[in-house]
């Protein structure tokens, strides 16, 4: 005998069938397919019209700004942009500032010659590296770039670029402008367009980047063609209205058109539920009948479900008792479906207890290993917050675990470096990769130490849970490395730079001079006069003491930014960045006079030495450092030949010597 109410499944199924049977009959009778098709055709025509109108408006918006940039570029044709001319241009072009949120000129070498941003717009520090600028330079044609996130956080930006040409046809730079169309009236007006309640507008670039969409999370992402095949056809050139599921798997009427000039994809989507809402109003006349049938089905279903779910209430009570420790398993009595559920629950509960026991044991081992390790260890969560530090890390840093976990770990760093270090740490955590770096920290007692920090991500198959890392005290190793580096570049006798250190400073200063253009760079070569008698009469120890005194005098006399070097024997050199030739000559005269006043005594001997000095300034004609050094050396040699104790300036083709003091 068939007994549908014996099982829980039978009771629920019977209640569903009895309750909804009358409703299905009524819904079939009132399904007016003809009315719905007619409404679909009307909405499709309006939808296609609004989409085409939007595409034309978008073309006009972009091309108007591109023509404005091109017009300025044509007026600049034949001139070489400079920082001054660009600043004047941007100040004078009120039209550009009205059309764009940001305007800039970038040289072919990537230097920003001038820029302007509207209030509230954050300057892009990587402006010269944007792809649209490289494309404009490579093609030598105006370009409209893909939407990007720059300027105002969360606001998509469209950047346009137009190449600038000099009189000889060479590329002189790129004029670029950025707009935030969501802040403009264009997209604000488009967002208010509604062919039907619930419809929305979407816009994507020719490269498939989403510029406008009601879902903020989709902005600046690529079109999800794999989830909506219609998008691939639209990018390829399809224009029209189709009925298909959206990316969210919602049935909808979708209209697509490519803007004729710029090739941007404009789409308008109206969910079918919203499109066919007017048809539902036809059901009002039958609402009384439907409500009566629904009430009847509800009453019958309520009675059936109340009876059907009574065993489930007993199961809930048993689960509550297990949670409170009053039971250890579910009763396996009742309908066979509940018996199967109870057996499955009991197996799962026992397995969970075993898993918890194993997890507790593993945690105990892990806690013991982390606590007893001689290396500083730490754990951080996926957001970069410290969750554990071991005693070794407390000993290394001098900070307690409570201070590190509850406070700010950046308190261990110099105050000037804290914000930069926090940002660097967040970048490391977001990268989800391992890392290793060295940093100086301040201990709680006020001292400082150098440590090496390492971190490795802790991952599951689905996500990164956080990081486990180590901190090693490398203070002594860092001190030895710094000492070794200093010794490799300095003369141990005088404390001045040696030849290797001097050449490194000279190369660095030369590169900086070439970058900054007009910054003067002077160099003086110095040779002691009458030094050999000191060694011959008083010995090399006395000569070394004199060289040490002279080195100290040179270092104390010049600026901290100047570099004093002992090149060998009694030869010295001083590199003077940002120092014109005549100022260098004054410095040389002071040094010559100061050395001439030195009265050195060794035993029964008294000595006085003088110095011959040659000076030159790095000029445009110096194509190589050897040529520059040769000019300085020639000036020093001439000072010697003219009788010593004098300064000779090599100024291009002229050689000017000071009289002997």
pLDDT of residue 2: 47
Which regions of 166-298 does DSSP assign to beta strands (E)?
Answer: 171-179, 200-204, 210-212, 240-245, 251-258, 265-271
The structure tokens listed for 66 are 């591109």
Total residue length of the chain: 661
d(CA 162, CA 143) in angstroms, rounded, equals: 6
Identify whether the C-beta of residue 173 lies closer than 8 Å to the C-beta of residue 81. yes
Roughly what angle, to the nearest 10 degrees, separates helices 581-596 and 540-557?
A: 140
Compute the distance between CA of residue 587 and CA of residue 598 in angstroms, rounded to an integer: 17
Classify residue 641 by its DSSP letter: H
Contacts of 369 (CB under 8 A, 6+ apart): none
Residue 385 makes CB contacts below 8 A (sequence gap 6+) with: none
Are 609 and 529 in contact, with CB atoms under 8 Å apart? yes
Identify whether the C-beta of residue 211 lies closer than 8 Å to the C-beta of residue 191: no
Token output for 98: 């009205």
Per-residue burial over 385-394, b if 16 or more Cβ lie within 10 Å, else e, is: ebebbbbbbb
At 252 the three-state DSSP class reads strand
3-state secondary structure 74-90: HHHCECCCCHHHHHHHH
- CATH of 373-479, picked from 2.60.40.10, 3.30.450.20, 1.20.140.10, 3.40.640.10, is 3.30.450.20
Q: How far is CA 522 from CA 572, 581, 641, 658, in A?
A: 14, 6, 22, 17
Residue 115 CB-density burial (10 A; 0-12 exposed, 13-18 middle, 19+ buried)? middle
* CATH code 3.30.450.20 for 32-213+256-275: yes
What pTM was estimated for this model as a whole? Answer: 0.41
CA distance to 25, 280, 286, 655, per residue, from 273 (Å): 21, 10, 20, 92
pLDDT of residue 174: 93
Place of tokens 């957001």: 383
235-279: pLDDT as tens digits: 888 888 888 888 777 888 888 898 888 888 888 888 877 777 776
Per-residue pLDDT of 329-383, as tens digits, reads 777 666 776 677 777 777 777 777 777 777 676 766 666 666 667 777 777 777 7
Tell me the Ramachandran region of residue 180: left when phi exceeds 0, alpha when psi lies from -120 to 50, beta otherwise: beta
Q: What is the DSSP string of 462-509?
A: S-EEEEEEEEEE-HHHHHHHHHHHHHHHB-TTTSSB-HHHHHHHHHHH
The label of the residue with tokens 């406008």 reads 212
The pLDDT score that the predictor gives to residue 58 is 85
Q: Which residues of the chain have pLDDT under 50?
A: 1-2, 661
Asked if 183 and 241 touch (Cβ cutoff 8 Å), the reply is no
- Among 144, 145, 136, 129, which residue's Cα sits nearest to residue 163? 136
CA distance 167 to 118: 32
Q: CB 41: neighbour CB atoms within 10 A?
A: 9
Residue 476 has a pLDDT of 76
535-538 LR contacts (CB < 8 Å, sep 24+): 537/605, 537/607, 538/602, 538/603, 538/605, 538/607
Indicate the class that CATH gives domain 491-657.
alpha beta
Angle at 643 between CA 642 and CA 647, to 5 degrees: 70
């Amino acid at each position: 005998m068939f007994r549908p109410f014996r099982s829980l499944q039978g009771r629920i199924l019977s209640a569903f069938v009895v309750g909804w049977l009358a409703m299905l009959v009524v819904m079939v009778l009132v399904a007016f397919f003809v009315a719905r098709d007619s409404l679909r055709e009307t909405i499709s025509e309006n939808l296609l019209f609004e989409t085409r109108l939007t595409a034309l408006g978008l073309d006009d918006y972009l091309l108007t700004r591109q023509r404005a940039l091109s017009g300025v570029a044509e007026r600049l044709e034949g001139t070489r942009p400079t920082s001054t001319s660009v600043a004047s241009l941007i100040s004078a072009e009120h039209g550009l500032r009205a059309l764009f949120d940001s305007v800039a000129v970038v040289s072919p070498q990537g230097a920003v010659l001038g820029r302007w941003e509207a209030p509230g717009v954050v300057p892009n520090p990587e402006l010269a590296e944007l792809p649209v600028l490289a494309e404009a330079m490579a093609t030598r044609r105006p370009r409209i770039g893909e939407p990007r996130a720059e300027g105002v956080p969360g606001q998509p930006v469209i950047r346009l670029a137009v190449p600038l040409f000099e009189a000889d046809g060479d590329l002189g730079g790129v004029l670029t402008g950025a707009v935030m169309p969501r802040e403009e009236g264009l997209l604000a007006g488009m967002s208010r367009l509604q062919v039907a309640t619930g419809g929305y507008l979407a816009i994507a670039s020719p490269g498939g980047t989403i510029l406008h969409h009601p879902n903020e999370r989709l902005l600046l992402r690529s079109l999800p063609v794999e989830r909506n095949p219609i998008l691939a056809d639209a990018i390829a050139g399809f224009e029209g209205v189709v009925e298909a599921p959206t990316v969210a798997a919602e049935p909808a009427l979708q209209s697509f058109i490519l803007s004729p000039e710029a090739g941007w994809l404009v789409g308008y989507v109206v969910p079918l539920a919203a499109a066919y809402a007017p048809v539902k109003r036809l059901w009002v006349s039958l609402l009384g009948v439907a409500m009566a049938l629904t009430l009847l089905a509800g009453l019958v279903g309520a009675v059936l479900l109340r009876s059907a779910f009574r065993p489930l209430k007993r199961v809930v009570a048993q689960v509550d008792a297990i949670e409170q420790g009053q039971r250890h398993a579910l009763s396996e009595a009742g309908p066979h479906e509940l018996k199967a559920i109870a057996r499955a629950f009991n197996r799962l509960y026992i397995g969970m207890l075993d898993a918890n026991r194993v997890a507790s044991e593993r945690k105990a081992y892990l806690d013991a290993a982390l606590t007893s390790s001689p290396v500083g260890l730490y754990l951080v969560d996926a957001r970069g917050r410290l969750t554990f530090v071991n005693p070794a890390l407390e000993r290394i840093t001098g900070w307690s675990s409570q201070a590190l976990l509850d406070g700010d770990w950046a308190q261990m760093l110099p105050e000037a470096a804290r914000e930069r270090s926090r940002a660097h740490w967040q970048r490391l955590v977001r990268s989800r990769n391992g890392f290793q770096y060295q940093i100086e920290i301040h201990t709680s007692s006020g001292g400082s130490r150098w440590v090496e920090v390492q971190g490795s991500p802790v991952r599951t198959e689905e996500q990164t849970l956080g990081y486990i890392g180590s901190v090693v005290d490398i203070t002594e190793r860092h001190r030895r490395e710094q000492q070794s580096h200093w010794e490799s570049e300095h003369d141990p006798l005088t404390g001045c730079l040696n030849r290797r250190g001097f050449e490194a400073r000279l190369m660095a200063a030369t590169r900086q001079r070439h970058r900054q253009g007009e910054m003067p760079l002077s160099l003086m070569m110095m040779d002691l006069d009458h030094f050999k008698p000191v060694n011959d009469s008083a010995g090399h120890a006395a000569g070394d003491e004199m060289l040490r005194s002279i080195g100290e005098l040179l270092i104390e006399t010049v600026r901290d930014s100047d570099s004093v070097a002992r090149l060998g024997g009694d030869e010295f050199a001083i590199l003077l960045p940002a120092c014109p030739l005549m100022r260098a000559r004054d410095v040389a005269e002071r040094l010559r006079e100061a050395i001439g006043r030195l009265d050195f005594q060794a035993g029964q001997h008294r000595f006085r030495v003088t110095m011959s000095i040659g000076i030159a300034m790095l000029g445009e004609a110096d194509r190589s450092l050897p040529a520059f050094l040769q000019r300085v050396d020639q000036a020093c040699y001439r000072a010697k030949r003219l009788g010593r104790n004098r300064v000779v300036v090599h100024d291009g083709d002229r050689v000017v010597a000071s009289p002997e003091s």
